[in-house]
Amino acid sequence: MRALRVVVVGAGGQLGAAVTCAFEGHEVLPFNRHELDIADARRVRSLARCRPDVIINCAAYNEVDAAEDHPDLAMGINSDAVRLLAGAAETAGAAFVHYSSDFVFDGQAERPYDERDAPHPLSMYGQSKAAGEQSAACVAHHYVLRLASVFGGRAGEGRGGSTTIDRMISRMRAGEEVRAFSDRTVTPSYTHDVASTTRRLVEMAAPVGLYHCVASGATTWSTLAGEIAIMLGSSSNVRATPAAEAPPTRAQRPNNCALSNSKLAALGIVMPTWQDALARHIHSTSAVSTGRRELSV
């Protein structure tokens, strides 16, 4: 296929950095948050002058608890700015890719959620992400990918190095105890797998719409933590803790965050298991911490 001109917004974050790398071979125009304020309507509209084939939005407001106190800020970035970006894509005749969250659901389902399930967010953050999905759909050629418990990236790349999974890895490498929820179910998303799936969807001109993009297989946080300990050969103690025993948070979290990848699978895109993704991430961070040359993943 011909090389595409791909605009990546939020390219300085952990997901944006992975997406920028994943589109190697195409003409990529990356913009970090200092280079493009997505709330600036004039600047966003000017993206159309780049004549992109695809605009990929990796920028987001991810402060779940703070969103309860700053709802306008969360909605402004996660929905209003998304509508501006979608408008720029529409003007340019470009495809638009946007990322959403498992927090659009209330976590009461007894099975993994699929794309047919109606959102019912518990928090302002979840509400803003659900609204963002509608904003992204304003352009006909759109892909909305729901992610969950995103990990990957490097320190200095957005939240890279500071995610829940990264904190677990750091504590285990230090031989410290790790407390993890025994009754919260997740299907985490590895940035490199999300990025490569994004490229496949765009290149194959997949049917537009909503997709869940997470690792295959669901797990609890405590089981995931135990797997990290095994992979690291760590002697750290993993203490499985019910969510009810944790200190209260400003925003309510869903207990069952598992998402189904069945829609991607129907296109022939099979996401790696969470164990496989976790092993690759640990190998990657180990290579950096010991000064070895990092392998491409």
- Domain boundaries, given as residue ranges, for the chain: 5-289
Structure tokens given for 293: 């040359």
- Pairing relationship of beta strands 178-181 and 95-101 according to DSSP bridges: unpaired
Side-chain-facing half-sphere of 273: CA atoms under 13 Å: 7
What are the backbone dihedrals phi and psi of residue 222, each rounded to the nearest 5 degrees, phi first?
Answer: -70, -40
Instruction: Retrieve residue 212's tokens.
Output: 């869940």
**Angle formed at CA 162 by CA 159 and CA 168, multiple of 5 degrees:** 145
Return the residue matching tokens 């990657």: 284
- Confidence band of 290 (pLDDT split at 50, 70, 90): very low
Please provide residue 240's backbone torsions phi and psi, each rounded to the nearest 5 degrees: -75, 125
The DSSP code for 76 is I
Instruction: Give the closest residue to 19 by CA, choosing from 157, 130, 187, 218.
Output: 157
Distance of CA 1 to the CA centre of its chain: 27
Asked if residue 59 has pLDDT above 60, the reply is yes
Distance CA 245, CA 250 (A): 15
DSSP state of 211: E
pLDDT in tens, 230-250: 999 998 899 999 999 988 999
- CA distance linking residue 240 with residue 236, whole number of Å: 13
Which of 184, 159, 174 lies closest to 249, judged by CA?
A: 184
Question: Counting beta carbons within 10 angstroms of the beta carbon of residue 159, is it exposed (0 to 12), middle (13 to 18) or buried (19 or more)?
Answer: middle
> Identity (one letter) of the amino acid at 96?
F
- Label residue 297 by pLDDT band (50, 70, 90): very low
Query: Residue 158 contacts by C-beta under 8 Å, 6 or more apart in sequence?
Result: 10, 12, 13, 14, 15, 16, 17
Of 3.40.1080.10, 3.40.830.10, 3.40.50.720, 3.40.1160.10, the CATH number of 5-289 is: 3.40.50.720
Residue 295 has pLDDT above 60, yes or no: no
Query: Residue holding tokens 């992400």?
Result: 129
The catalytic site residues sit at: 125
For residue 293, the model assigns a pLDDT of 33
19-27, Cβ contacts within 8 angstroms, sequence gap of 24 or more: 19/56, 19/58, 19/194, 19/195, 19/198, 21/195, 22/192, 22/195, 22/196, 22/198, 22/199, 23/199, 27/3
For the stretch 68-122, pLDDT in tens is: 999 999 999 999 999 999 999 999 999 999 999 999 999 999 999 999 999 999 9
